[in-house]
Amino acid sequence: MLNEGVDGALGNEELSSTVLRDLAWLIATHDLVELPPPIPCGGRPTIKELGLEQALLPWLRQLGRPSLIALNGSRATRMGHYHERLWHTLLDHAPNTRLLARNVRITRQRNTLGELDMLYRTRDNPAPVHLEVAIKFYLGLPEGPGAATSQSRWIGPGGLDSLALKCGHLRRHQLPLSTTAPALETLAHWLAPRDIGVSSQELGEQLTQRLAMPGVLYYPWHAAMPAPEGATADHRRGTWCYLRDWPALAASVTERPEMAWLEKPHWLAPPLHSAFRPMAEQLPAIFEKVHTWRSPQQVMLYYPQQQRYERLFLVPDNWPRQVPLPPVVR
């Protein structure tokens, strides 16, 4: 299994708030993939661009209580919504950025074409940046559609989504949306006069696109598998295994780890050490969840002697019950 890494422990005990630890994890986590041309898309806002290169932990500690209450993960109905709110807080409160707009609906003749996740600007550049965000947790299939490195072999725990489908939707719809005439007209009207006050044509020349897609790719324990096409070299990794393989996996480790069950939406930062228990105490309830809900369950393993974390999905023996079809290339 693979190490969650030093970044995964950033703020783990330094920061008692789950939200603050999730923010620290988000800042430290690399994107899963890089989209190929022709989409002229930049990567995520860097810690330097945010102005947090020298003062991340002090900045996290000084975030006001109202911000943390608004970000309380228990109020999120979906992990995606919680992830977006983390980015809103980050861009609106970081020293070098300002959040201009979020969830901007783009319409044409009363038909909704889509939404732009958020617009922001930096302190030294008034031109707006269109940022799309997504957080994804995909499990790799040693046997599946396409070649060994196909993004279609990386699917969500529920089997409804795949890395290929998400990347295709980003490339064909979400990112190009901000360059369409209806989007530029909406943005030019919305931004003026508070921000840059330019025409839609001038805005089209200044607007840049960025994508933040953090998450984890879980490699199968029972088979070797290469990274998917386009995966970044530093993407976070985990492991998944069938329930039937758990005894062999447990026997393969030299140090007996402690275990914590991860509950949505807090699949980001490792829990506090107080959340971890001996595996013998945790496993019966987790196995019961897998059987009752008939769905993969994610746990975090902690090795006290090595002070490292590992992510693991325990999945039913008949998983997956469905695999998304590869996207249609037009």
Separation CA 300–CA 311 (nearest Å): 5
Nearest Cα to Cα of residue 9 among 197, 322, 276, 284: 276
Partners of residue 313 on adjacent β-strands: 240, 298
Residue 259 vs residue 194, higher pLDDT: 259
**11, pLDDT greater than 60:** no
pLDDT band of 330, cuts 50, 70, 90: low
pLDDT at 299 > cutoff 50? yes
Q: Does the pLDDT value for residue 9 go beyond 50?
A: no
Residue 206's pLDDT band (boundaries 50, 70, 90)? confident
Give yes or no for a contact between 134 and 213, defined as CB atoms under 8 angstroms apart: yes
Distance CA 72, CA 18 (A): 9
pLDDT band per the 50, 70, 90 thresholds, residue 315:
very high
Q: Is the bond into 38 cis (omega within 30 degrees of 0)?
A: yes
Q: How far apart are CA 293 and CA 287, in angstroms?
A: 10
Q: Is the pLDDT of residue 41 over 90?
A: no
Distance of alpha carbon 144 from alpha carbon 146, whole angstroms: 7
pLDDT of residue 10: 47
* Maximum mean pLDDT: which of 53-57, 69-73, 235-239: 235-239
pLDDT at 49: 92
200/52: higher pLDDT: 52
In the beta sheet, which residues pair with residue 137?
216
pTM for the whole thing? 0.91
DSSP 231: B
Q: Hey, what are 155's tokens?
A: 């699917």
| CB-facing half-sphere around the CA of 91: CA atoms within 13 A | 26
Lowest-pLDDT range, 36-40, 246-250, 297-301? Answer: 36-40
Residue 96 identity (one-letter amino acid): N
Q: Which amino acid is at 302?
A: Y
Q: What is the mean pLDDT of the chain?
A: 87
Lowest-confidence region among 200-214, 219-233, 301-315:
200-214
Contacts of 58 (CB under 8 A, 6+ apart): none
- 283-310: average pLDDT: 95
Task: Kindly report which listed range (143-157, 193-207, 265-279) carries the lowest average pLDDT score.
Answer: 193-207
